[in-house]
Structures are given as structure tokens and as C-alpha cells.
Amino acid sequence: MNSYAEYLRPFLPYIPSDLISAQCFDRVLSVAQHLPAALGIGPFMFECSLDGRPAADFSVAVMASRDDHAALSRLGSTDITTPPLDNPGWTRIRQFARSWVDGSSLLSHTVEEVWLEFDVCLARDTPVNTPSVFFSLGYQSPQEPALRRRLSRQYVRVAKEGLDILEGRTSPVTLSTLAECFHILPAFARILFLGAMISRGTGTIRVVASGLSLEDIVRYLERLGLQKFARHLPLIADISDLTDHLWLAIDIEETGVAPRIGFECYNSTAQSENNRKWADLLDLFVGMSICTDRKRNALLGAADMSNREFDELAWPESLRRVSKILGPAGFNRIGLHIHHIKVIDRPGVPLEAKAYLYGSYR
């Protein structure tokens, strides 16, 4: 039976070894072989370090619009039965997927997509088969205070339903801090994703927010108790000037919001213009010594996929059949592009940068 790994292999020849090594690809494939082929058309992302290591972690999307959540809920039973999926983490992930499919759950009416993020090469000597789970919320903070309080409470209930399944039980302290993240979010800003960091076993919850200016981010973090978080703030301001959108990623622990701040850089123009903007940003990173020249060139080379021809014979047979049935409307190429770049600010260490290379069949 086909697995996700067969859908991933056609992309690998187009990713330079300076970006991701063959050994790291082997680890990615060892994880992907346990995922169902139903998820195979993508999208997926490689989370690439921008330092000297040719290493990456791996994420795969699960989309409700394609009934991917149903395939995920069956994983390990009717789809693929493998020992690596027989553990408490995967049991909770399948429980989450079953609740997501259930039309009576809060998750089913709110969550549109989930990303499974596997720690493969960046932080571990061996890949971890149990991923962290990021689920979408799409909460937008209303301008009117009473409506904001009411709506934020509704989304906190959705968050609790999902996190209680994935984490076993969300502690009252963590839930209180999470609720504060919703309640004080500036008007029109959004909380897009929550992440249960299952693979790390820490109980940490990641919050990903958008629609905030850098000034909004500073005030927001100060209200959450981080008063001395941004010794690199002038550098973050320079980075913000070279990107269209700056998202915020923060971690909630038992002790409150952790002093590890992620600044996610996005561009929203046409692909060719985006590549020029990414080149300018990466040039800045090289000058800041948080990206090597070789990584800059390898990343931009991998992202320049738009005019290349591909060997359809390398595609999985099931996808070739679908492409022929659909004719001109079918899949006829694969694409890679830079989805976003994250800069991480942690106390006592230099800034760290990672690029997220996004792939899909089109």
C-alpha cells in the first residue's frame, strides 16, 4: 500500500544537498512511510536551518476540505498498521481526528486544517515518529470590547477541547494564560494556530498570531509579562522592514509565557517578486551571521521551481491515474516555494533563523 513517502520522493532531486543532506532525507522518509497516501498531494513543509547544518524537520498538512481528518482518524487501524504509531501520542492524535470529524464537536465547526510537525534532524540525533500538532482557529479579535470578551471565551473553549485531547489535560494555569492571550489581543489581530508540542513532552502550547505591527507585538508581550524580551528589537525592526507581514509565535508553559519569541516573516506578492524579497532578507541574514552564503543560495535555488520540467514517471501511480482522469484540470507539475522564514529570539543566545520550504502537487 502506498504511503506518504512515495508522494514525497519526486521532490527530493530538486532540493540541494547543501540545504538538506541525504541522511536527513532518509530520516524524513522513515517518518513519512507511516503516514497515509491520502495526505500525499500535500502541502508539506521542510523546516530548514539556515546555519551550516544541512538539516531540516518535516511537517505535513491535514485538510478538512479533503476529508484528510477521516484518514487521520483511521491511521494505525485500516490504513497502515505499524509499531511506531502504537503509542500514547498517536492515540491522542487519532482521538483528536475522530473528534474533528464528529459534527457535534466544537473542533468540527472551527478547525479547517492541522499540521503534523515531526522533529527529524534539527534538534535530535534520531527522528521522532510522534509529531507535534498545530490546529487552525482563525480567531479575529473584534473591536467592540463586550463582543471580544464573548467571542474570545468561545474560542478558548474550542482550544481547550482540542488541547485536552492532545495533551491529556490542559492545566488550569496554562489555560488561564492562553485565555489571556485571546482576551488582550488587539482589535482585528488574529490567533491563527495553536500547537500542542507532543513530540517534546513538555506540555508547552504554541500560539501563532498575525495582524500585529511590531509596536503591537511589543505591547502585547509586555501585557503578557515579558518586560525584557527584545534585546534584539532593533534587528527585528530591520527584518520587519524587509517583509510584508510579521507573525508572532509564543510558547505558553506552566510558569507563563516563555521568553522564546518567534517572528515569522511572510511575503504576499507574485512568486518572482517574492523570490527577490526573500533574497534581500537572506542577504540581511548573511550580514547578521545567522545564515550562510551556501544556505542562502541553496534555498533560493530550491524555491526557483516555476519553469522546470518534471518526470511524471517518478510520480506515484495513483496520482498519475488521477491526473489522467482529470485531464487539463489534473495535476501536471510539482512546486516548491519559500512559505515563510522564522527568526527566533531567546535570552542569552544569538538570533536563530529557519526557512520553511513549502511543497505541493499542482
229, 247 contact by CB (below 8 A): no
Taking the CA atoms of residue 31, residue 71, residue 158 and residue 178 in that order, the dihedral angle to the nearest 10 degrees is 0
Kind and range of the H or E element at 24? helix 22-32
DSSP letter assigned to residue 286: H
What are the boundaries of each domain within the chain?
4-361
- Cα 196–Cα 120–Cα 259 angle in degrees, nearest 5: 45
Answer positive or negative: Cα dihedral of 30, 265, 201, 70. Answer: negative
Q: What is the pLDDT of residues 116-172, one digit of tens each?
A: 999 999 976 777 789 999 999 999 999 998 999 999 999 999 999 999 999 988 889
What letter represents residue 222's amino acid? E
Q: What is the rounded CA–CA span in Å between residue 282 and residue 280?
A: 5
- The reported pLDDT for the residue numbered 81 is 42
Put residue 289 in one of left, alpha, beta given phi > 0 → left and psi -120 to 50 → alpha. Answer: left
- Grid coordinates standing for 227? 518586560
227, 257 contact by CB (below 8 A): no
* Interaxial angle between packed helices 88-101 and 145-167, expressed in degrees from 0 to 180 and rounded to the nearest 10: 130
Residue with cell 510520480: 315
What letter represents residue 67's amino acid? D
pLDDT values of the chain reduced to their tens digit, one per residue, 362 residues: 568 898 898 888 889 999 999 999 999 999 998 888 878 777 999 999 999 999 999 999 999 998 888 888 887 654 444 545 667 889 999 999 999 999 999 999 999 999 999 999 997 677 778 999 999 999 999 999 899 999 999 999 999 999 999 998 888 999 999 999 999 999 999 999 999 999 887 889 999 999 999 999 999 999 999 877 667 889 999 999 999 999 999 999 999 999 999 999 999 876 667 789 999 999 999 999 999 999 999 999 988 765 445 556 566 776 666 666 655 555 667 788 999 999 999 988 899 999 999 998 77
Q: How many Cβ atoms sit within 10 Å of the Cβ of residue 64?
A: 18
For the chain, give the number of residues. Answer: 362
- Grid coordinates standing for 342? 522564522
What letter represents residue 63's amino acid? M
Q: What is the pLDDT of residues 301-344, one digit of tens each?
A: 988 765 445 556 566 776 666 666 655 555 667 788 999 999 99
